[in-house]
Chain A
Amino acid sequence: MSLTGSTRRFSPLVPQENAGQFFSSGHTNNWAVLVCTSRFWFNYRHVANTLSVYRSVKRLGIPDSHIVLMLADDMACNHRNPKPATVFSHKNMELNVYGDDVEVDYRGYEVTVENFLRVLTGRLPPSTPRSKRLLSDDRSNILIYLTGHGGNGFLKFQDSEEISNVELADAFEQMWQKRRYNELLFIIDTCQGASMYERFYSPNLMALASSQVGEDSLSHQPDLAIGVHLMDRYTFYLLEFLEDIHPSSKANMNDLFKVCPKSQCVSTPGHRTDLFLRDPGSALITDFFGSVRKVEITMETINLTEPIHSFR
């Protein structure tokens, strides 16, 4: 478990009220569900997208036990890969996002719509191991990242089935009613990605998409040695933005909305914040991408005699 945290000394005058404020802060743990839905070698870029978000999230502190990583096909050890056990995001093989320490929870044929919805809602068979479960509670902030091929109102899974925006919105509503999240950030990088968050109706959801309805998301750059496009534009610039974030960074969501303007992305990224109860400017990037634990150091004992009511 990551122990990075922000520390602040209590003022010695009113420790009781400070304790109340401390317990009323939003979330206590972070989870991430990262899904790549495409199969076949020419969809290398979708796996590279997901792995670059995985890498950023791990770097900022979320441990493997709190990440559910779903990759629909294996690109690193694919026989077409000229450099086995690597997945690159930048051409000329600059950055290996696969790395040496990776744990994929769902892979190959296991990445199906049914398994994805079961992971989100927690309705898994009893013999499912812990690493394949999303064990979040009502104080968890969850980051959900989807990438693949999509259209107006659907996302394609493995070239054989699809998930619609209505199903996704209903799954989030199930999660809200079962108190499985505190706040949820949903990022999608597909063609016409904004259609996927149109139908959301549960509170505390924030969504970002790489393109509006009617627009295609484009891929970034091919590598001539590997022979395929390595990344999609939106996630490429998102990775560049996240590389500058460190666990004590104070960047907030408004900076995230500015990632990849139309001049770089060719498509228009969109976002939706009307269901989010806080102001996006007050939500830090590390609230979702990192695992920052609030640590307060105090020199004296604090008696907690009455219940602390959280201001949520």
Chain B
Amino acid sequence: PAPKPNQPTSFEATADKEDTSAPETVVQSSVPQPKDDFQEELVIRPLHSGDIYASFQFRTLWETDFMRGNKVSHYRLFPKSLGQVISKFSVRELHISFTQGYWRTMQWGQPFLPSPPGAELWVWFQDSVTDVDGTWKELTNVLSGIFCASLNFIDSTNTVQPSASFKPLGIGNVTDHRFLRYATLPREIVCTENLTPWKKLLPCGSKAGLAVLLKSEKLFHSSFHSQAVHIRPVCQDWQCKTTSWELRQTLNVVFDLHTPGQGKLEWSLFKMFSRTLTEACPLASSSKIYIDITDDPQGEQFEVSPATHLLSQAMVLGDRRTFSVYDLTQQITFGTVRSLNLLIRWKSSEDMLRPLLHAERYVAGYGLQTGEIHTLMYNNHPYRSFPVLLLDSVPWYLRLYIHTLTVTSKGKDNKPSYIHYQPSKDRVRPHLLEMLVQLPPNSVTEVTVQFERALLKWTEYTPDPNHGFYVGSSVISSLVPSIVAMDTNSTREQPLFSSFFPCKEESSYFMRVYTEPLLVNLPTPDFSMPYNVICLTCTVVAVGYGSLYNLLTRSFQIEEPSPGLAKRIANIIRKMRGVPPL
């Protein structure tokens, strides 16, 4: 990490810290040092089910240009490994997430940053790349080394090019989907070995600031854990005259009510993370904690201690929410004990507002030959209908029969206005199905398609084939009507959690929902059979050939039986006497 500037943390940190950096950072070129900025924040939202949702975001903004032949060699806040990945593979946008658990929308509401179970990677390449598939393969290998994950299993059999669902989240006018690649690994496990390199990318590491709370023994003992890295170019001002690169590292975790064993609706930083906070990251220009108190602004339902007078309002997820703010760059936040342990206690929970968009998916049917995939999408808005884009990527060994595709809402046929289907090719590419469906208000829309299971070659089975094979989550993206007017000015100073998805209109906001992944059993052979067949065949051949050989070549000879003991002694005496034997 870069050397710490010599400033006490009680000062209001400014964005031009690089002017006071230690003198040994000598810059030879005449180009002035590009400005970089680091912000960290933690949002805590108590959920109606009694669980608690904590979302960390660490953002580094850097005004530099990785493209057009500029060789960037001096890195300060931006991690060098990711900077080299961007310039070597001509990446325009990179989004990678590792998730353990499934986000339960009906119990927990909408997450700030959705992610599917397992690993998900989608990348927009620059239009200067000539061989996108080759670059994609090398990129996945390099990322598997950086994040200690098996991303090298991403190949053409699980990569798709969505045509409409994954538009760039940063600036960019290239929308040719030949430069987009999307892949998921639903089986990928997330554990401390993925968290360790993720933490090492932060400017302060896990030694100062909010990242000291990230202890793996508590983070993985939770209902949901997701860590992600998002890299994209953003505008610095309204006219977009200067652009900078934004790196966001996000970590979402939902702690279960009953895991600590108490069952009371009382949470503290120490109970969640087994740590308290003592200081902000000295390299951060802003370090804040937000607690969502929208459901109870008067303090009757729940209380937060130590109390704070700082309040902030933000438009997030189509709603105006109120937050208590703790500014860690102010020394008074830590009080006389020099440590901050927030305590949140709430008394009762009323019914939650139903989320507007919600989806489920399951496999129907019986046996190991055929089946049917059902995807259900719920629109819970009382009077507005809105369109959704459904993206389905099914592996080639589930052979979809697209002529059996049906989309029904409220019992009637609902024809999608846009369908993009790419059929699979055995062992080369998966199925890709994208549809734009209009969901009527207050309804359930069901999409069904039948499939047949394929028999794989015996070397293609995993070492544990009886576990089943995973089908990645479906992605449902849509612009959902919002209750309040959303803010379309993306360059205004906003909390990080409300500025992730760009907002183009005031009356709606962007939402992405992931369904469950499917676990499907394929017809599995008995793997001991090759051994059995070899034994049986060898036995049959040995017995058959041996018998035939004996029949053809065996000849019989007459042999005198050996005489008894008395006769043998008599013969010896007769030989000595010279008399012929008996």
Enumerate chain A interface residues (CB-CB to B < 8 A).
39-40, 74, 76-77, 83-86, 98-105, 107-110, 125, 127-132, 158-160
From B138, which residue of chain A is reached at the shortest CB distance? A127
Enumerate chain B interface residues (CB-CB to A < 8 A).
100, 137-138, 141-142, 144-146, 148-150, 152-153, 187, 189-193, 196-197, 215-217, 219-221, 462-464, 527
Contact A105 B220 (CB under 8 A): no
Q: A85-B220, A100-B192, A102-B192 are in contact. List 18 more A-B contacts (CB 8 A).
A: A39-B463, A40-B464, A76-B192, A77-B220, A84-B217, A85-B216, A102-B196, A105-B145, A107-B149, A107-B193, A108-B189, A109-B150, A127-B137, A128-B141, A129-B144, A130-B145, A131-B145, A158-B463
From A40, which residue of chain B is reached at the shortest CB distance? B464
Contact B462 A105 (CB under 8 A): no
Given A84-B220, A128-B141, is A77 in contact with B190 using a C-beta cutoff of 8 Å?
Answer: yes
Q: Which single member of B146, B149, B191 contacts A77 (CB below 8 Å)?
A: B191
Contact A107 B150 (CB under 8 A): yes
Q: Which residues of A contact B191 (CB under 8 A)?
A: 74, 76-77, 85
Q: Which residues of A contact B464 (CB under 8 A)?
A: 39-40, 159
Closest 3 CB pairs of A and B: A129-B145, A77-B191, A85-B220
Q: Which residues of B contact A130 (CB under 8 A)?
A: 145
User: What are 8 residue pairs bridging A and B, where the CB atoms are less than 8 Å apart in the complex?
Assistant: A77-B190, A100-B215, A109-B150, A125-B141, A128-B141, A129-B146, A130-B145, A159-B463
What's the nearest-Cβ distance from chain B to residue A265, in Å? 30
Q: How far is the CA of A128 from the CA of B143 in the complex (A)?
A: 10
Q: How far is the CA of A107 from the CA of B147 in the complex (A)?
A: 12
Contact B141 A160 (CB under 8 A): no
From B219, which residue of chain A is reached at the shortest CB distance? A85
Q: Which residues of A contact B221 (CB under 8 A)?
A: 83-85
Contact A129 B215 (CB under 8 A): no
Q: How far is the CA of A91 from the CA of B480 in the complex (A)?
A: 53
Q: Which residues of B contact A127 (CB under 8 A)?
A: 137-138, 141-142
Q: How far is the CA of A304 from the CA of B442 in the complex (A)?
A: 86
From A72, which residue of chain B is reached at the shortest CB distance? B463
Q: How far is the CA of A217 from the CA of B193 in the complex (A)?
A: 29
Contact B193 A104 (CB under 8 A): yes
From A132, which residue of chain B is reached at the shortest CB distance? B145
From B465, which residue of chain A is reached at the shortest CB distance? A160
Given A74-B191, A160-B463, is A85 in contact with B150 using a C-beta cutoff of 8 Å?
Answer: no
Q: Which residues of A contact B144 (CB under 8 A)?
A: 129, 132
From A69, which residue of chain B is reached at the shortest CB distance? B193
Q: Which single member of A83, A99, A101, A129 contacts B142 (CB below 8 Å)?
A: A129
From A112, which residue of chain B is reached at the shortest CB distance? B463
Q: Which residues of B contact A110 (CB under 8 A)?
A: 150, 152-153
Q: How far is the CA of A98 from the CA of B150 in the complex (A)?
A: 19
From B215, which residue of chain A is reached at the shortest CB distance? A100
Q: Which single member of A77, A103, A125 contacts B189 (CB below 8 Å)?
A: A77
Q: Which residues of B contact A86 (CB under 8 A)?
A: 217
Q: Which residues of A contact B527 (CB under 8 A)?
A: 160
From B217, which residue of chain A is reached at the shortest CB distance? A85
What's the nearest-Cβ distance from chain A to residue B469, in Å? 13
What's the nearest-Cβ distance from chain B to residue A73, in Å? 9
Residue with the highest number of chain A CB atoms closer than 10 Å, among B145, B152, B192? B192
Q: Which residues of A contact B216 (CB under 8 A)?
A: 85, 100
Q: How far is the CA of A158 from the CA of B149 in the complex (A)?
A: 18
Q: How far is the CA of A131 from the CA of B149 in the complex (A)?
A: 12
Q: Which residues of B contact A40 (CB under 8 A)?
A: 464
Given A127-B141, A127-B142, is A105 in contact with B148 using a C-beta cutoff of 8 Å?
Answer: yes
Q: How far is the CA of A129 from the CA of B189 in the complex (A)?
A: 20
From A125, which residue of chain B is reached at the shortest CB distance? B141
Q: Which residues of B contact A129 (CB under 8 A)?
A: 141-142, 144-146
Q: How far is the CA of A109 from the CA of B141 in the complex (A)?
A: 15
Q: How far is the CA of A235 from the CA of B410 in the complex (A)?
A: 63
From A160, which residue of chain B is reached at the shortest CB distance? B463
What's the nearest-Cβ distance from chain A to residue B296, in Å? 32
What's the nearest-Cβ distance from chain B to residue A116, in Å? 14
What's the nearest-Cβ distance from chain A to residue B90, in Å? 16
Q: Which residues of B contact A98 (CB under 8 A)?
A: 192
Q: Which residues of B contact A101 (CB under 8 A)?
A: 196
What's the nearest-Cβ distance from chain A to residue B158, in Å? 14
Q: How far is the CA of A110 from the CA of B185 in the complex (A)?
A: 14
From A105, which residue of chain B is reached at the shortest CB distance? B148
Q: Which residues of A contact B142 (CB under 8 A)?
A: 127, 129
Q: How far is the CA of A269 from the CA of B216 in the complex (A)?
A: 37
What's the nearest-Cβ distance from chain A to residue B225, in Å? 9
Contact B196 A109 (CB under 8 A): no
Q: Which residues of A contact B193 (CB under 8 A)?
A: 102-104, 107
What's the nearest-Cβ distance from chain B to residue A164, in Å? 16
Q: How far is the CA of A232 from the CA of B550 in the complex (A)?
A: 52
Q: How far is the CA of A125 from the CA of B138 in the complex (A)?
A: 10
What's the nearest-Cβ distance from chain A to residue B123, in Å? 15
What's the nearest-Cβ distance from chain A to residue B187, in Å? 8
Q: Which residues of B contact A102 (CB under 8 A)?
A: 192-193, 196
Q: How far is the CA of A107 from the CA of B220 in the complex (A)?
A: 18
Q: How far is the CA of A105 from the CA of B149 in the complex (A)?
A: 8
Q: How far is the CA of A138 from the CA of B560 in the complex (A)?
A: 72
Q: How far is the CA of A74 from the CA of B220 in the complex (A)?
A: 13
Q: Which residues of A contact B197 (CB under 8 A)?
A: 103
From B218, which residue of chain A is reached at the shortest CB distance? A85
From B190, which residue of chain A is reached at the shortest CB distance? A77
Q: How far is the CA of A129 from the CA of B138 in the complex (A)?
A: 9
What's the nearest-Cβ distance from chain A to residue B246, in Å? 25
From A109, which residue of chain B is reached at the shortest CB distance? B462
What's the nearest-Cβ distance from chain B to residue A45, in Å? 18
Contact A109 B153 (CB under 8 A): yes
Q: How far is the CA of A131 from the CA of B187 in the complex (A)?
A: 22
Q: Which residues of B contact A103 (CB under 8 A)?
A: 148, 193, 196-197
Q: How far is the CA of A285 from the CA of B346 in the complex (A)?
A: 57
Q: Which residues of B contact A158 (CB under 8 A)?
A: 463
What's the nearest-Cβ distance from chain A to residue B412, in Å? 42
From A106, which residue of chain B is reached at the shortest CB distance? B150
Q: Which residues of B contact A85 (CB under 8 A)?
A: 191-192, 216-217, 219-221
Q: How far is the CA of A302 from the CA of B145 in the complex (A)?
A: 42
Q: Which residues of B contact A100 (CB under 8 A)?
A: 192, 196, 215-217
Q: Which residues of A contact B148 (CB under 8 A)?
A: 103-105, 107, 131
Q: Which residues of A contact B153 (CB under 8 A)?
A: 109-110
Q: How far is the CA of A103 from the CA of B462 in the complex (A)?
A: 24
Q: How far is the CA of A1 from the CA of B197 in the complex (A)?
A: 17
From A98, which residue of chain B is reached at the shortest CB distance? B192
Q: How far is the CA of A125 from the CA of B137 in the complex (A)?
A: 12
From B142, which residue of chain A is reached at the shortest CB distance? A129
Q: Which residues of A contact B462 (CB under 8 A)?
A: 109
Q: How far is the CA of A77 from the CA of B141 in the complex (A)?
A: 23
Q: Which residues of B contact A76 (CB under 8 A)?
A: 191-192, 220
What's the nearest-Cβ distance from chain A to residue B120, in Å? 17
Q: How far is the CA of A107 from the CA of B189 in the complex (A)?
A: 10
From B189, which residue of chain A is reached at the shortest CB distance? A74
What's the nearest-Cβ distance from chain B to residue A113, in Å? 12
Q: Which residues of A contact B196 (CB under 8 A)?
A: 100-103
Q: How far is the CA of A103 from the CA of B141 in the complex (A)?
A: 16
Contact A83 B189 (CB under 8 A): no
What's the nearest-Cβ distance from chain B to residue A6, in Å? 30
Q: How far is the CA of A67 from the CA of B100 in the complex (A)?
A: 27
Q: How far is the CA of A271 from the CA of B150 in the complex (A)?
A: 35
From A131, which residue of chain B is reached at the shortest CB distance? B145
What's the nearest-Cβ distance from chain B to residue A124, in Å? 10
What's the nearest-Cβ distance from chain B to residue A80, in Å? 13
Q: How far is the CA of A98 from the CA of B137 in the complex (A)?
A: 31
What's the nearest-Cβ distance from chain B to residue A35, in Å? 15
From B464, which residue of chain A is reached at the shortest CB distance? A39
Q: How far is the CA of A103 from the CA of B189 in the complex (A)?
A: 14
What's the nearest-Cβ distance from chain B to residue A310, in Å? 34
Q: How far is the CA of A86 from the CA of B191 in the complex (A)?
A: 10
Q: Which residues of A contact B141 (CB under 8 A)?
A: 125, 127-129
From A82, which residue of chain B is reached at the shortest CB distance? B221
